Amino acid sequence: MAVSGVDDDFAGTVGEIVAHLEHDPVLVEEVMGNGHTEAVLDALTAKAAKSSVPVHIVLTKAPPGLTTDNTAEELLTLLHARSGEDGVWFVSTSEVGHTALAVYGDIAPSVDNDELMLAGAVREAREAATDAIRDSCGDCFATPVVEAGLVLDVVNAGLPGTYMENPLTDQQIEAYATSTWQGQGTRSPVGENAEMPTPGLYAVVATVTALCVAVVGYRLVQAVGGVAHRPGSGKGTSASSRKPRPAPDPAKELDRARARASSATKKLSAALGRADDLVDWRRRDTAAACLERAETRTSSDGLLEVVGSLVLAQTGLHALETSEGQYRCCYVDPRHGAADTESPLGGGASVPVCRACAGALEKGAELAPLHEKGRLGNRRPYYEGSTVWARTGFGALGGDWWQQVPR
């Protein structure tokens, strides 16, 4: 059913609208009322009452029978022609919300083109109102009711003398940035539907969180005050011994090694001279080969070469002095002397080491290997390099290794 009383009041034809305007200059129908028809109608009526010139504001559905696309303009023309009333006319029609503005007669004697000046001022004011509305609501826009209000405001403020000038104050503009006047895009959810989580989703979130936090948390708590690790090593060591030892002075290191190498080489040379036929020729042969390679290296500038000279001399002496086995130095650093035992050095390989290094390996303490200078100036254990010494381990790895050493 129809809401009582309202039904028959609807001005559905040009004649009915004109009849309404004869006793009320403002017509706002629900179909164009921006959801607040009563409030808008009251506000526009109050503004119209203040106007010193005749105003006619019509916001309604276009009556049936109009023939053009812009029904607002057509309706305005028809209403003016039917009523013959001069003054300001503003018409807006559903569904598109076309607006039409016209001035008939001279409403401002000091202004030449009343309609142009009014339209320009309203357009500027509308821009300002749109900015004000967007400031508080990005999805909102100025509606035909805003424009109707602005038309009345500009008329009441007096037409500006220059084209495209907004004569309204900021306060007047900002009054339109409210839900009564502004329009808003779709607010209800389209397609998506928020629902409370199911028990299953709670369980998923709780389980994932608990599992991850438990595992990570346990490991982190274990880390608090836990034994620190040497960089790049799988073995634990105490936090206090983590600091790397300061590198010894390379020049002193080289001199010291050279002194040892020279004395060992001289000793071997002398021993070889003394050696008579009582010594097996093969052992003498080995000693001679070692001496030959050792002598050329004692004066080298490379620490590894000098150390190599030392080990070669010791190997030669060992060969002359005893027929059993061959000289095995400490793999970690040949300067440690002869190996006493074998220890695993990672990777499952066991190498001969001195007693001190064996103890360090067992405890997982830091080793003090013979270092070489890497290509980038960094120090690294010689056995990480690719020299003949790394390949042979200075004889620690056994075999007739001296034969691999170039003369």
Partner 1 sequence: MNRVTRGLVSLGVAAGLAAGSAVLATQVLHDRRADAVAAQGEPLKAEARTDRVVNALAGLADDGVYVAPDARDMLDRAGEKRVARAVAAAQTPVKVVVWTDTRHAGASGFDTVQQLEAGLAESGERGVYLIWQGPENGDINTFGPYGYLTMSPHDEFAGDPSVTLPRLVKRVDGEVRWPERDTESDYWGGVSGGIMAGALIGVGVLLGIGTLYGLFVGTTKRRLPGTWRW
* Residue 212 lies near partner 1 (rule: CB under 8 A): yes
Residues 313 and 261: beta-carbon distance below 8 Å: yes
* Residue 221 lies near partner 1 (rule: CB under 8 A): yes
Tokens for 176, please give them: 């339109």
Least Å distance between CB 25 and partner 1?
20
Distances (CA, A) of 222 to 214, 219, 233, 342: 12, 5, 19, 34
Tokens for 386, please give them: 């690719």
Closer residue to partner 1 (CB): 239 or 259: 239
Closer residue to partner 1 (CB): 150 or 303: 150
Least Å distance between CB 166 and partner 1?
23
* Residue 199 lies near partner 1 (rule: CB under 8 A): yes
* Residue 377 lies near partner 1 (rule: CB under 8 A): no
How far is residue 116's CA from residue 26's CA, in Å, rounded to a whole number? 22
Phi, psi of 137 (to 5 degrees): -150, 105
* Residue 138 lies near partner 1 (rule: CB under 8 A): no
The residue type of 120 is G
Least Å distance between CB 94 and partner 1?
4
Looking at 47-55, 186-194, 309-317, 351-359, which segment touches partner 1 (CB under 8 A)?
186-194
Closer residue to partner 1 (CB): 92 or 309: 92
Which of 228, 279, 367, 390 forms a contact with partner 1 (CB under 8 A)?
228
Looking at the DSSP bridge assignments, the partners of residue 102 are 89
Binding to partner 1 in span 37-56, by CB under 8 A: 37-38
Least Å distance between CB 352 and partner 1?
28
Which of 211, 259, 270, 349 forms a contact with partner 1 (CB under 8 A)?
211
Angle at 85 (CA atoms; ends 83, 87), nearest 5 degrees: 145
* Residue 64 lies near partner 1 (rule: CB under 8 A): yes
Which of 208, 259, 270, 349 forms a contact with partner 1 (CB under 8 A)?
208
Binding to partner 1 in span 65-124, by CB under 8 A: 92, 94-97
Binding to partner 1 in span 239-258, by CB under 8 A: 239
SS (H, E, C) 114-170: HHHHHHHHHHHHHHHHHHHHHHHCCCEECCHHHHHHHHHHHHHHCCCCCCCCCCCCH
* Residue 26 lies near partner 1 (rule: CB under 8 A): no
Tokens for 52, please give them: 């010193």
Q: Say which residues have a Cβ less than 8 Å from residue 136's Cβ, sequence separation at least 6.
A: 177
Which of 16, 30, 165, 321 forms a contact with partner 1 (CB under 8 A)?
30
Which of 162, 186, 378, 386 forms a contact with partner 1 (CB under 8 A)?
186
Looking at 69-77, 185-193, 296-304, 337-345, which segment touches partner 1 (CB under 8 A)?
185-193
How far is residue 87's CA from residue 322's CA, in Å, rounded to a whole number? 132
Question: Which H or E element spans position 350?
Answer: strand 350-353
Which of 50, 219, 282, 379 forms a contact with partner 1 (CB under 8 A)?
219
Least Å distance between CB 208 and partner 1?
4
- Among 115, 101, 186, residue whose Cα is nearest residue 144: 101
Phi, psi of 196 (to 5 degrees): -70, 150
